[in-house]
Amino acid sequence: MPLFRRTLIGSSLAAATLAFRPAHAAGKVLRIGISTSLSTLDPMMVTTGDEYIHANLVFNGLARMREDLVVEPDLAESWTYSDDLRQWTFRLRRGVKFHDGQEMVADDVVASFRRLLDPASTSPVRSQYDMIDSVAAPDAATVVFKLTIPYGGLADILTDRQVKIVPRGASDLATKPIGTGPFKVVSYTAGDRLVLARHADYFEPGLPKLEGVELRIIPEMSVKIAAVQAGDIDVVWDLPLEQVKPLSGRADLRIDSVPTASWDGAILNNAIAPFNDKRVRQAFHLAVDKKEVVDLTLFGQGVETISPIPPSHPFFAKDVTVAKPDPAAARKLLAEAGHPNGIKLPVILPVGRPVRERLGVTLQQLAKAGGFDLQVQRLPYSSFNAEVSGKAPLYIDGFFARPTVDTSLFSFLRSGGSWNERLWHYNDATVDRALDAARSSADPAVQKKNYGDVQAALVANPASFFAYSVNYACAYRKSVGGVKTHPMKWFDLRYATLG
């Protein structure tokens, strides 16, 4: 049967104006201010939000995810799956052209997936596609995936940032990318800008509407804000949440803040005392008012949650009862767990991640009444993997939204999951059974029921402290039309216009 369904997250104004004078005719090229240079232009290897923007403007996947999180066809025009969910067949659009003029055919899709699945691949998402046993092209317009397990969400995970189609035999994609997307790369200068031009042979008639896009690399947020206010750029990507309300009153700007499935939290290491005791993990939740956390950390631009599933998602379990904050009950649980005088321990904060640093300081303040005396320590985020992840008892971290609930939960909460072993070492038989059942079905009702069971189990036996789902904000000049802020932190600019 066909499957198209919902899934599833200090410089002066004068200086800024001088630095960012338009290089193209006004009204034709959209200028977006981003924060960092792109380490690669190879879509399979992108790891940062700035790189995700590029990947989704220059390349296409078999499927794509809209701003409302509905999955729809992209390079595939339709797909079907077998009754046992072990074989998926994708029918491709005909006449799609790569930027170099070649026609995209099934062999290109097969080559792209073999490149991703190669054991030698260092793509950050390769392990998420381990269920793919083989990819074949019975004809130029058909691609067949055979899986090692029943899996109901294959089309959904093919929307991910790194899973794009490139020409077979393509080399040096890191510096000379060739895709099928609405825009093609003209030039890239590290530390300055990525210049994109309209793909004249794009497969959707009349699109894109823009002549080009520039990603301007502007590390200082104050300079980006000054530039968009002056009209020297058109968009600020990933606007700091503390700027949402101050900038919302400007008549020349549109500020868009949208819910996402991206989350931050306190990582409670279940393998190390004191959080190897479920009662201590429960006490931590009772000690902290998550609504206060959202207000103090996110300036209200987010919502408290109980798992990586955000309250905006249809699979969020609204009927799960969560105990209200109760510091006295938290202290009582700590006493039962052998800590009558409370617990004193360090909480490690990632330097360079200001929102997460605020979260750590907020938790230090709020948890004290519940018996947790947290000693703030700061460490560069670049050192977290080597020195903190999976080792420290308590630290602050978070993750970008994933394309599906399965990819948001399975490797994080399933016993033996790669992210589970890297973070909190959680083990719960109910969660394991529910996660297995959810990914083995293509029925949304079955998935919702099982993901509800996961969320109920996480309340009873917390894996960690999921603080909130964080909003994502952008600032647009009022002259920008046809663009919606995407909760996955990329842009769909096919319909974008400049007035």
> Does residue 213 sit in the same domain as residue 267?
no
Arithmetic mean of pLDDT, 216-221: 95
Tokens of 298: 């996110």
Q: What's the total number of domains in the chain?
A: 2
pLDDT score at 144: 99
The pLDDT tens digits of the residues spanning 46-70 come to 988 899 999 999 999 999 999 888 8
Using pLDDT thresholds of 50, 70 and 90, give the confidence band for residue 383.
confident
CA distance 237 to 205: 28
pLDDT score at 124: 84
Tokens of 341: 């005088």
Host domain of residue 317 = 263-470
pLDDT score at 430: 98
Contact 312, 6 (CB under 8 A): no
One-letter amino acid identity for 69?
L
pLDDT score at 296: 97
Of the chain, the percentage scoring pLDDT greater than 90 comes to 83
DSSP state string for 48-106? SHHHHHHHHHH---SEEE-TTSBEEESSEEEEEE-TTSSEEEEEEPSS-B-TTSPBP-H
> Does residue 250 sit in the same domain as residue 303?
no
The pLDDT tens digits of the residues spanning 187-217 come to 999 999 999 999 999 999 999 999 999 999 9
Q: What is the mean pLDDT of the chain?
A: 92
Using pLDDT thresholds of 50, 70 and 90, give the confidence band for residue 15.
very low
CA distance 128 to 159: 13
pLDDT at residue 4 greater than cutoff 80: no
Contacts of 332 (CB under 8 A, 6+ apart): none
> Does residue 239 sit in the same domain as residue 311?
no
Backbone torsions φ then ψ of 247, nearest 5 degrees: -85, -15
pLDDT at residue 312 greater than cutoff 90: no
Contact 60, 71 (CB under 8 A): no
Arithmetic mean of pLDDT, 311-316: 91
CA distance 393 to 347: 8
Arithmetic mean of pLDDT, 227-238: 98
> Does residue 195 sit in the same domain as residue 252?
yes
CA distance 193 to 191: 7
The pLDDT tens digits of the residues spanning 429-475 come to 999 999 999 998 889 999 999 999 999 999 999 999 999 999 999 99
Using pLDDT thresholds of 50, 70 and 90, give the confidence band for residue 398.
very high
**Which of 233, 218, 180, 203 lies closest to 60 in space, CA to CA?**
180
> Does residue 280 sit in the same domain as residue 403?
yes
CA distance 486 to 375: 37
Tokens of 453: 């069971």
> Does residue 247 sit in the same domain as residue 270?
no
Arithmetic mean of pLDDT, 22-39: 77
CB half-sphere exposure, 110, CA atoms < 13 A? 17
> Does residue 232 sit in the same domain as residue 279?
no
> Does residue 91 sit in the same domain as residue 192?
yes
CA distance 341 to 35: 45
Asked whether the CA dihedral 340, 275, 460, 349 is positive or negative, the reply is positive
> Does residue 65 sit in the same domain as residue 149?
yes
> Does residue 341 sit in the same domain as residue 419?
yes
* pTM, rounded to two decimals: 0.84
pLDDT score at 393: 98
> Does residue 284 sit in the same domain as residue 433?
yes
CA distance 446 to 439: 10
The pLDDT tens digits of the residues spanning 122-163 come to 898 888 898 999 999 999 999 999 999 999 999 999 999 999
Q: For the domain that residue 421 is a member of, what is the CATH number?
A: 3.10.105.10
Tokens of 81: 């799956």
Backbone torsions φ then ψ of 368, nearest 5 degrees: -60, -40
| HEC letters along 420-452 | HHHHCCCCCHHHHHHHHHHHCCCCHHHHHHHHH
pLDDT score at 381: 81
pLDDT score at 17: 35
pLDDT score at 160: 93
Q: For the domain that residue 39 is a member of, what is the CATH number?
A: 3.40.190.10
pLDDT score at 412: 94
pLDDT at residue 384 greater than cutoff 90: no
Backbone torsions φ then ψ of 413, nearest 5 degrees: -120, -20
The pLDDT tens digits of the residues spanning 157-176 come to 999 999 999 999 998 999 99
pLDDT at residue 1 greater than cutoff 80: no
> Does residue 325 sit in the same domain as residue 458?
yes
Contact 124, 162 (CB under 8 A): yes
